[in-house]
A and B are shown apart, each in its own frame.
Chain A
């Protein structure tokens, strides 16, 4: 159906020793063979991998040492010919490979375009495609896990069990309606119906609460490090980045060149905002200040407010506390290696509602405590067990909200004294909406349930 060949870097940027550039489309193999020195890729078997070198066909210059996988349609992710070029990790080399491929006939893939092709070629269904799309966007291990779990059907299992619960209730109402003469089937009452709908409603609410966390997991927590000059913001940044392997992404073309770094602190993905600003300005005392911090605060979900243990409390510190009011804040009193100058009572008073950590970043002290505080702030202690189901997909969240609304309609109907078969309309709708999440809307299952649950007949 598609006529052009697309290519993109398909591994997370900056991570890992190996990066992969993927091509998909009718000319994928031809384009790859143009730049590949080794076996003739147009003649190799499908699903084989080959060692060789990438060369620039114009200059004959060697670009990279690579392994190339050739997968022919239709048994591929997109059901098109696919070539995957495994090259050395790191931004520079992988970008050179991608550029080379683009120069030789491929088009840069739009976000999610591989998945879109897989979907349009009938390789995956909508719900899987959506999970894959989230997978592509996943920035940290945990978000990656959520996307994977979703594909495994952890969420779908939970939804299925809620649907089964509704289905049994529905079948019960149906049997009362379609077989009114059967007096040995007990009548489903509005009270029982209310109990069931309330229970499912509660479950959906719980799921929706995880949705917010799911979103944060996927996009990273926007984290701002603020503080007066020379309190150790840069050291803090380095400490976090050093321990947790920062990923640096450049977002050019925006009004200001923001540099964000991703770090994974005990499973919590932090998106550190304006790290360049911190690094640039830390040494140049005159340029800094509260102004820059204010800007950064606008997009922050979490604030790391750094104070200097070895310096007196100032008006500026006070301003900072005011600026972060109402936000998630962790207060860090750094430089405990210096003699105390700061008024800790004052700090404790102002930081009463926030976690407070003391560190000496130079002596690498207190970093563990800080990381724990970050994890606690986000997970509230119980979320990092790994077996909670998160809803992370926008469509799923919307459907869950719809389902919740339908259940509320049903509960409203019960309270307004509507007959049970009318209330059932909304319960059935809930069941259908939940079915959309797991891609199952076959209405015959109600009839199957009816006949397996009850004994009927002439």
Chain B
């Protein structure tokens, strides 16, 4: 073993979590090292070549508002972008981009390499250096000892990864990368509870062998879109995706060969995600459904590989080929890579504090798929928070914990560390109780201040942000004071928009609250002196139109804050509290919630347990665990 150097923050892994963690730490001024198994696979997308979607797309925007990289990177490297849920309310709109996989990686690698304070190294970490319960560094298989004040593990699905295709199985990370075996074992030896999860990916086919005439085109939006609030240049030459369907014969082949699927032969031991079932799962669970959608997604501009979304499977290769033949457009498709299932170890995330530091070992953080999540965005969202908090710890700064009313990232991390997960965790909009506050359009308004405070947002960007806020407030005020009279122009506009006639004069803001009136229409009647940027117009419209609902959500947040502010001392002795149900006691001892609010979200902790806990806290009758 040799001394390979001293750092503030060491990041193990350079996937989507690792990249954000490394960049955030380095940008905060921490001397940061990133170690990866393979420098050619930085920010690699082993599954969907896409970023964003409902909830996930909002996370990308939140990362951007905090000064992270994912949004900027995909803005530079996508092949198409779409705004989803445009027919619904503002709270659930979200961007999704199809990525050029290779460009995405190259661009991210360039950013990492150009980042001050950041060192990139290739190497397999076998174990941690732990002294007296504190993590001091890592040791690679080549016997290099890197010392760090804090360490973040972001090893994704590599820990004891095992690939399964039909009856074939072999130890491997995703895409036939070397798995990380020793680290997983080492974590177990250190006393961490691990859980076995499973996920899967569909086959890839050669674009030249697809008959697109039998499919439906799925183009990107014509309007230029971007995730990052900083992006000013937009990609215009977009590449479409294509839609086709499975059919009767697809289902017949699956039915007949179910016993050959790794998942159904009993070879797969890990728990798979329900929201991301394999095609065989879908056929078994929804047997009466005559067809399932299949999206054909190009993996990039300089490759012929096409991702067959909807056909994730662990069937043997020969069956996969036969399945493809039954799908319109893919009858002659050449399979370039077979789909597979992958099993891996994940850390039970209730072993983490909300900062993503482990409770067991001080200075050790984990982020991303290793914490039981799935998805690039979920990984990146944890990555940036772990990077921020690991750097904060190394630099003696205050940690940052986002709450459930501030960000989807806050929902994600609170869910993980409070409730844990018994399947790979995916963010859904329904997981957020304050969905109307956690919008795609206001991520910057929610989080830029925090990003600026920790040093991840530049002065220039912060000034622009303040200007935007000023314009929004000014315009809202203006609309409060402008009066719209029932003139002929107004009445005919209302008629055309399908609304009722105006009886009396109203404030412009009230006029905008009518369902048929948009800000664009209102502008025709009364416009500000200077044309406003479209994102300011959007904010004005949303904030006025949904004011009542937003206020109601804010009131709920206020109520939540009351229990959230009731802190629980970290050395509370739950065993000494009489009347707590045994299950509640066990759960509380395990999760060690920081507040009564967090405690109330633990499954198995009932309202009566919370009442008892409150009674104890109120009376100051808290027994402390002695320091033995």
* A interface residues (Cβ-Cβ under 8 A, vs B): 1, 79, 119-122, 124-126, 170, 174, 176-184, 413, 416-422, 425, 439, 442-444, 446-447, 450-451, 455-458
Contacts and interface: CB of A to CB of B under 8 A. Distances in A.
Interface in B423-451: 428-431, 433, 435-436
B309 interface: yes
B239 to A, nearest CB: 17
A416 B430 contact: no
A456 B431 CA distance: 17
Interface stretch (B148-156, B390-398, B577-585): B577-585
Contact of A120 (B201, B289, B428, B612): B612
Contacts of A413: 549
A122 B581 contact: yes
B187 interface: no
Contacts of B144: none
B579 A122 contact: yes
Given A178-B54, A450-B428, 15 more contacts: A122-B580, A122-B581, A418-B549, A420-B88, A421-B429, A425-B436, A443-B430, A444-B603, A450-B430, A455-B289, A455-B292, A457-B277, A457-B310, A458-B47, A458-B201
A425 B90 CA distance: 13
A79 to B, nearest CB: 8
8 shortest interchain CB distances as A-B pairs: A417-B515, A419-B89, A455-B286, A451-B274, A122-B579, A457-B277, A421-B89, A177-B92
Interface string B299-323: 0000000000110100000000000
Contacts of A179: 54
Contacts of A178: 54-55, 428-430
Contacts of B543: none
A458 B312 contact: yes
Interface residues of B, number: 56
B55 A455 contact: no
B557 to A, nearest CB: 13
21 contacts: A120-B579, A176-B88, A177-B88, A179-B54, A184-B289, A416-B515, A418-B89, A418-B549, A421-B92, A421-B435, A422-B436, A422-B546, A439-B606, A442-B603, A447-B430, A450-B275, A450-B430, A455-B277, A455-B292, A458-B47, A458-B276
A440 to B, nearest CB: 10
B262 to A, nearest CB: 17
B611 interface: yes
B54 A177 contact: yes
Given A120-B612, A178-B428, A425-B436, A419 B88 contact: yes
Nearest to B55: A178
B176 interface: no
Given A177-B85, A417-B516, A443-B433, A458 B54 contact: no
B173 interface: no
B615 interface: yes
B607 A126 contact: yes
B13 to A, nearest CB: 23
Contacts of A181: 84, 293, 295
Contacts of B611: 119-120, 126
Contact of B282 (A119, A174, A455): A455
B435 A425 contact: yes
B45 to A, nearest CB: 13
Nearest to B582: A122
A455 B293 CA distance: 10
B137 interface: no
Contact of A447 (B47, B84, B428, B581): B428
Contacts of B286: 455
B296 to A, nearest CB: 13
Interface in B49-105: 54-55, 84-85, 87-89, 91-92
B202 interface: yes
Contacts of A419: 87-89
B119 interface: no
Nearest to B50: A458
Contact of A125 (B202, B429, B549, B607): B607
B89 A182 contact: no
Contacts of B312: 457-458
A122 B605 CA distance: 11
Contacts of B84: 180-181
Given A126-B608, A184-B293, A421 B88 contact: yes
A458 B310 contact: yes
Contacts of A1: 578-579
A380 B515 CA distance: 46
B515 A177 contact: no
B527 interface: no
B608 A119 contact: yes
A442 B607 CA distance: 11
Nearest to B513: A416
Contacts of A455: 277, 282, 285-286, 289, 292
B558 to A, nearest CB: 15
Nearest to B289: A455
B608 A125 contact: yes
B281 interface: yes
A324 B85 CA distance: 63
B406 interface: no
Contact of A458 (B202, B515, B579, B580): B202
A311 to B, nearest CB: 62
B91 A421 contact: yes
B293 A425 contact: no
A254 to B, nearest CB: 34
Contact of B615 (A120, A183, A417): A120
B429 A177 contact: yes
A446 B430 contact: yes
A182 B428 contact: no
Residue from B92, B277, B431 with most neighbouring chain A CB atoms (10 Å) = B92
Contacts of A451: 274-275
Given A177-B85, A447-B431, A125 B293 contact: no
Contacts of B546: 418, 422
A194 to B, nearest CB: 15
B291 interface: yes
B553 interface: yes
Nearest to B608: A125
Contacts of A170: 430
A375 B156 CA distance: 71
A121 B606 contact: no
Interface string B590-613: 000000000000010011110110
B610 to A, nearest CB: 10
Given A419-B88, A420-B88, A425 B549 contact: yes
Contact of B291 (A121, A184, A442, A450): A184
Interface string B201-225: 1100000000000000000000000
Contacts of A182: 293
A439 B608 CA distance: 10
B243 to A, nearest CB: 8
Contacts of A443: 430-431, 433
Residue from A120, A181, A456 with most neighbouring chain B CB atoms (10 Å) = A181
A251 B202 CA distance: 79
Contacts of B47: 458
A117 to B, nearest CB: 9
Interface in B512-550: 515-516, 546, 549
A439 B428 contact: no
